[in-house]
Amino acid sequence: MSDAGAEGLDRSPVLSVAIRRKVYGAGGPEPVEAVRDLAFSVAPAEIACLIGPSGAGKTTTLRILLGLDADYEGSVTPDPDDAGIAMVFQEPRLLPWRTVEQNVRLALPRAQRGRNLDSLFDSLGLAPWRGRFPRALSLGMARRVSLARALAQEPRLLILDEPFVSLDDASAAALRSIVVDCVDSTRTSVLMVTHNVVETIEMADRLLLLSGRPASLVATIPLDRPRVERPRSWIDAMRSDLAIRYPQIIAA
Amino acid sequence: MGFATRLVSVLVLLAAWQLAAGLAESRLLPAPLTILDFIVSESASGELWRNVGLTLARVGVSFLLAMVLGVVLGIALGRWSALNLVLDTPLLILLNTPALVITVLAYIWVGLNEAAAVLAVVLNKLPNVAVILREGARSLDPQLEEMARTYRFDRRTWIAHVLVPQLQPFVVAAARSGLSLAWKIVLVIELLGRPNGVGFAINFYFVQSLNVAAIVGYSVVFMSVMIAIDILILQRLEAYVRRWR
């Protein structure tokens, strides 16, 4: 990316997190410490991956960032109530009684609902689905709608929670390349939570490795992107996944 | 095919009834054609439609009142557990008070007038609506709530696109069960203390002349009207509400 020297470019982080402590059931008989001394930030146009074992407190951390959980010690900037952060939940969380298009528009501020979203729907391959109800969609398509809803916000920071989990390899690869393209073209920052090493390696500029409970930062590893060729078909997608998982077989 | 079967079943039933009435030769078991005669002459005199109209108006007013109050109360109970704690027991008592008791007390305390009649229906029906809607308000999807918060849905958007669609099936269920309950209660209320309406007419023909043809005739006409309302309005509403499933 050639962003150096662009005029007025703000290099200050789009997100700074400093969680000293998060305890569930504090004051109860068995308090559980979910997070301890977790501090990191996300730079503009960066894809940061928060990776760690299941139950490590990744989702807890996300809920704090989103302002869904205010019961913790520490600080998060910007304030979660400020516009600028858009969330893609692990489940698509679409309104089943509204069409794909309505789902995307209703999440916008009232004044912006009439905006032209053709290019967004086109780029996500959702154009034929705009008038359909979510029930008609596969999980992969529903995730795209959820992503479209987030991207329509034109966020400074896009937060993705396990966005590729339980998708088949081809759909996951397609969705990954959509996210990467989007970030490259809009300079949106991404914070992605995952426990999948493959998608981390393929997408991340920086990897934030979490320990188990209580979660704290073990390592920060900068990476260069992309590590694999953009897959062209599902066979290529599978091959690239295999190449990462079993390099000796593919080399043979 | 299904419709033909239904039609044949009804026709066979009517034929058997006509036959039995012919054999019995008693005015206590009038034949379907005798009842039809009554319906025709009573509607020609205008008496039938006046009574049916008055009963429908009472059903309509009290049904709407009970629905509006019950929906609001039910949502409030489902969302605020403190309020629920206060009102749960009174609601349970009201739910288990016989319709007849509520009606008689309403007439005694408010007087033999329309207001008492409407009040009695509302008090009978409101607890049902409230309990159904309380269930609805409790079963709101927490994941969608989080989504709506994260995307900063304003209040109007949240009500119209998150809250109401989730409550719609409960409102329709309450309306359908509530309407059949309301009209049955209205007949009793009319019988006990109104000078007109279907309930009054049935009581009149019972006490004055034991005219079974008139009693059944009134019942058939009014039941037909209520079934038509259920099929033409409420079932269509239900289908519309479920269209996205």
Give residue-wise pLDDT tens across range A26-48: 778 888 888 888 888 888 888 88
Are A93 and B152 in contact (CB < 8 Å)? no
Contact B150 A68 (CB under 8 A): yes
Closest-CA residue of chain A to B167: A97
Which of B147, B154, B165 lies closest to A89 in CB terms?
B147
pLDDT value at position B105?
93
The answer on pLDDT for A199 being more than 80 is no
Report the distance separating Cα B181 and Cα B70, nearest Å.
Answer: 14
* pTM of the predicted structure, to 2 decimals: 0.77
Decide if pLDDT at A114 tops 50. Answer: yes
CB A51 within 8 A of CB A207: yes
Question: Quick one: closest CA in A to B168, which residue?
Answer: A97
| Sign of the torsion formed by the C-alpha atoms of A50, A53, A57 and A62 | positive
Strands (DSSP E) contained in chain B are: none
pLDDT of residue A218: 63
Contact B157 A106 (CB under 8 A): yes
Distance from CA of B164 to the nearest CA of A (A): 10
In tens digits, chain B (245 residues) has pLDDT values of 688 999 999 999 999 999 998 888 888 889 888 899 999 999 999 889 999 999 999 999 999 999 999 999 999 999 999 999 999 999 999 999 998 999 999 999 998 899 999 999 999 999 999 999 999 999 999 999 999 999 999 999 999 999 999 999 999 989 988 888 888 889 999 998 899 999 999 999 998 888 999 999 999 999 999 889 888 988 888 888 888 87
Q: In what order do the strands lie in the sheet with A15-24?
A: A32-42, A15-24, A73-77
Whole-angstrom Cα distance, residue B74 to residue B128? 9
pLDDT per position as a tens digit, B203-220: 999 988 889 999 999 999
Q: Tell me if A97 and B146 make a contact (CB, 8 A cut-off).
A: no
pLDDT for residue A226 is more than 50? yes
Residues of A in contact with B153 (CB under 8 A): 106-107
Closest residue in chain B to residue A111, using alpha carbons only: B154
Q: Is the pLDDT of residue A229 over 90?
A: no
Which of A67, A83, A97 has its CB closest to that of B165? A97
Q: Which two tokens stand for residue A203?
A: 């997408």
Q: Tell me which chain B residues have a C-beta less than 8 angstroms from the C-beta of A153.
A: 151
Higher pLDDT, B109 or A207: B109
pLDDT at A108: 92
Q: Provide the chain A residues 161-190 that lie in CB contact (below 8 A) with chain B.
A: none
Q: CA B92 from chain center: how many Å?
A: 20
Where does residue B3 rank: exposed (0-12), middle (13-18), buried (19+ CB within 10 A)? exposed
- Is residue A161 scored above 50 in pLDDT? yes
pLDDT given for residue A225 in this prediction: 62
Task: Kindly report the nearest CA distance between residue B71 and chain A, in angstroms.
Answer: 21
The ipTM estimated for the assembled molecules is 0.80
Contact B129, B74 (CB under 8 A): yes
pLDDT of res. B216: 92
C-beta separation of B221 from A112 below 8 A: no
Among A120-134, A171-185, B74-88, the least confident range: A171-185
Question: Which residues of B touch chain A, with CB atoms under 8 Å apart?
Answer: 143-144, 146-147, 149-154, 157, 161-162, 165, 244-245
- Report CB contact under 8 Å: A67, B153: no
CB contact under 8 A, A106 and B153: yes
CA distance B71 to B167: 9
SS (H, E, C) chain A: CCCCCCCCCCCCCCEEEEEEEEEECCCCCCCEEEEEEEEEEECCCCEEEEECCCCCCHHHHHHHHCCCCCCCEEEEECCCCCCCEEEECCCCCCCCCCCHHHHHHHCCCHHHCCCCCHHHHHHCCCHHHCCCCHHHCCHHHHHHHHHHHHHCCCCCEEEEECCCCCCCHHHHHHHHHHHHHHHHHHCCEEEEEECCHHHHHHHCCEEEEECCCCECEEEEEECCCCCCCCCCCHHHHHHHHHHHHCHHHHHC
Determine the distance from the C-alpha atom of residue B110 to the mean position of all C-alpha atoms in its chain, rounded to a whole number: 23
User: How many residue pairs from chains A and B have C-beta atoms closer than 8 A?
Assistant: 47
- A96 and B147 within 8 Å at the Cβ level: the answer is no
Most confident of the following: A157-166, A197-206, B24-33, B120-129: B120-129
* Cβ-contact A223, A206 below 8 angstroms: yes
A 86-115 residues inside an 8 A Cβ radius of B: 86-87, 89, 91, 93, 95-98, 102, 106-107, 109-110
Q: Which residues of B touch A109 (CB under 8 A)?
A: 152
Taking the Cβ of residue A246 and every Cβ of chain B, the question of whether any pair is shorter than 8 Å is answered with no
**Contact of B58 with B190, CB cutoff 8 Å:** yes
